[in-house]
């Protein structure tokens, strides 16, 4: 059997995904039938191998149907699937997926005054966790010029799950990409605090891992509280967050964030 050179990162649509499944199916069936033809003893083994492809076909078709309906309804549309693939590179249940190579913040050589190639508001995207109140935050952010959306992006027709009822104790984090200007980040934080005053953790994702590059130009509001808590990050008081001035220098802003790291 020749190897199928399937590259997961190149699969951008449901049709390609199904094609990959059926390539695998044909390969498995070919192996089973070829073995059945060549096997002589025991006699029952050949019959078993001939029947097996039928069972495999039923299982694979069943799995594909479940994947495209019940468990991954948003994969039925090419655009939805492409967006889902992009999101999976950055988030998982409100937490940033960590790269295999971990570098702790303490081990990094931090220069006091960094020259950072920043991104303006037109290049910044803001994702807001799907919790009650997220729609109001997204709408306010859009009114201020942000490219904002609710995360995760749900398929309107098939994904009927209700949003979380509250961020308290669960989704109190704010992830800020290191290229996001301080005034832009603080503007977004102030909008979110009006609806969710429970927000209390701020993290720069690249301080603890190597996220996909586009994450450095993003703000994520409503990140899992477990991530900063497990790292020993100290919470911000509401008064501290409200006292942040938009005219603060980006290096000073990053310094204040890192002061909360233990």
pLDDT per position as a tens digit, 154-165: 545 444 556 667
Say if 95 falls within a structural domain: no
- Tell me the residue range of the domain where 27 lies: 8-71
Is the CB of residue 155 less than 8 Å from the CB of residue 197? Answer: no
Say if 213 falls within a structural domain: yes
Pick the more confident residue, 116 or 216. Answer: 216
Who contacts 161 (Cβ-Cβ below 8 Å, separation ≥6)? Answer: 154
- Do 120 and 202 fall into the same domain? yes
Say if 82 falls within a structural domain: no
Say if 221 falls within a structural domain: yes
Q: Encoding tokens for residue 135?
A: 């729609």
- Do 144 and 59 fall into the same domain? no
Say if 199 falls within a structural domain: yes
- Do 20 and 129 fall into the same domain? no
pLDDT score of 116 more than 80: no
- Do 238 and 118 fall into the same domain? yes
pTM, two decimals, is 0.60
CA separation for the pair 40, 257 (Å, rounded): 71
Say if 78 falls within a structural domain: no
Total structural domains within the chain: 2
Cis upstream peptide for 42 (omega within 30°): yes
- Do 58 and 119 fall into the same domain? no
201-217: average pLDDT = 92
How far from 56 is each of 35, 63, 192, CA to CA, in Å? 15, 11, 50
74-103: average pLDDT = 48
Angle, in degrees to the nearest 10, between helices 134-143 and 182-195? 140
Say if 93 falls within a structural domain: no
pLDDT score of 75 more than 70: no
CA separation for the pair 113, 78 (Å, rounded): 44
* Neighbour tally for 124: CB within 10 Å: 24
Is the CB of residue 243 less than 8 Å from the CB of residue 212? Answer: no
CA separation for the pair 8, 111 (Å, rounded): 38
- Do 67 and 140 fall into the same domain? no
- Do 16 and 120 fall into the same domain? no
CA separation for the pair 48, 26 (Å, rounded): 18
**DSSP labels for 53-91?**
HHHHHHHHHHHHHHIIIII-GGGGSHHHHHHHHHHHTTE
Say if 77 falls within a structural domain: no
3 state DSSP class of 220 = strand
- Do 26 and 154 fall into the same domain? no
- Do 178 and 126 fall into the same domain? yes
- Do 53 and 119 fall into the same domain? no
- Do 142 and 243 fall into the same domain? yes
Confidence (pLDDT) at 59? 85
Choose the weakest-confidence range: 24-28, 60-64, 183-187: 60-64
- Do 128 and 210 fall into the same domain? yes
Confidence (pLDDT) at 113? 47
**Highest mean pLDDT out of 10-14, 106-110, 196-200:** 196-200
Among residues 49, 71, 93, the one where a domain terminates is 71
């Amino acid at each position: 059997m020749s190897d199928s050179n399937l590259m997961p990162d190149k699969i951008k649509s449901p049709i390609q995904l199904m094609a990959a499944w059926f390539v695998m199916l044909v390969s498995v069936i070919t192996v089973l039938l070829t073995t059945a033809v060549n096997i002589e003893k025991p006699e029952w083994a050949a019959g078993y191998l001939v029947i097996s492809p039928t069972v495999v076909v039923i299982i694979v078709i069943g799995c594909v149907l479940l994947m495209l309906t019940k468990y991954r309804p948003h994969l039925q549309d090419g655009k939805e699937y492409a967006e889902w693939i992009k999101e999976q590179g950055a988030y998982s249940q409100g937490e940033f997926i960590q790269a295999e190579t971990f570098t702790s913040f303490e081990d990094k050589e931090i220069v006091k005054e960094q020259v950072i190639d920043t991104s303006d508001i037109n290049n910044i995207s803001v994702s807001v966790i799907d919790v009650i109140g997220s729609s109001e935050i997204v709408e306010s952010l859009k009114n201020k010029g942000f490219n904002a959306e609710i995360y995760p992006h749900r398929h309107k027709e098939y994904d009927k799950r209700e949003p979380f009822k509250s961020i308290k104790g669960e989704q109190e984090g704010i992830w800020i990409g290191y290229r996001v200007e301080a005034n832009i980040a603080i503007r977004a934080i102030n909008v979110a605090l009006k609806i969710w005053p429970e927000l209390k953790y701020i993290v720069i994702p690249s301080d603890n891992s190597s996220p996909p590059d586009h994450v450095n130009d993003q703000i994520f509001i409503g990140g899992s509280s477990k991530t900063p808590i497990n790292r020993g990050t100290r919470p911000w008081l509401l008064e501290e967050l409200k006292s942040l001035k938009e005219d603060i220098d980006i290096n000073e802003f990053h310094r204040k964030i890192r002061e909360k790291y233990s």
